[in-house]
Amino acid sequence: MAEVLNSIPMPTLLYTAALAIYLFCVKKFTSFSFVFVAIFALNAVHLGVEYLFVSLFNTPQLASFTYYAWYLTFGLTDFIFVGMILFWSKQTNIQLEIVSKALIGIYFSLGVLQIVRLVERLTIDSELMAIIYREGIPFANIVIAILLFGYVFKTVIESVVSNFRAL
């Protein structure tokens, strides 16, 4: 069992644990839990895409393909993620919490950043935009993690307080 746990990356374990704790506290399926699972899936897709493209970088014949596909794949998957959440919310008539709205707003911005950077790199290719891309994406990833774990932490505290009052 310990060997199996060791083979799973630490962030994956932490995200799974956070989602399990959140579901245990709220005891129902909320828009946040749907967004959390969708982010988990998107993270897996993006990691897979990144490994695939990085492995193709050494193939000169595919240089142009990987160059365009890098930005377009990340951008389009971000837009699909946002569209999927909004569609699901509309279909199920479940209102998105403020944190879920903030998360899909960040993903929409990241999708825009990918497409804007591709167009900008093909035309102007400024150093400022390179820095914004290089620093902005990890910064957004950190904000996403803070929002996810912060909201789970807030829910746990609220659950503990309400259970304590009920005693």
Please tell me whether residue 128 binds another protein under the rule CB under 8 A. yes
Residue 4 or 128: which CB sits closer to another protein? 128
Q: Which of residues 26-85 bind another protein (CB under 8 A)?
A: 39, 42-43, 46-47, 50, 53, 57, 63-64, 66-67, 70, 74, 78
- Residue 76 gets the label, from left (phi > 0), alpha (psi -120 to 50) or beta, of alpha
Please tell me whether residue 17 binds another protein under the rule CB under 8 A. no
Contact 70, 57 (CB under 8 A): no
Please tell me whether residue 14 binds another protein under the rule CB under 8 A. yes
Please tell me whether residue 5 binds another protein under the rule CB under 8 A. no
Q: Can you give the binding site for another protein, defined by CB under 8 A?
A: 10-11, 14-15, 39, 42-43, 46-47, 50, 53, 57, 63-64, 66-67, 70, 74, 78, 86, 101-102, 104-106, 108-110, 112-114, 117, 121, 125, 128, 130-146, 149
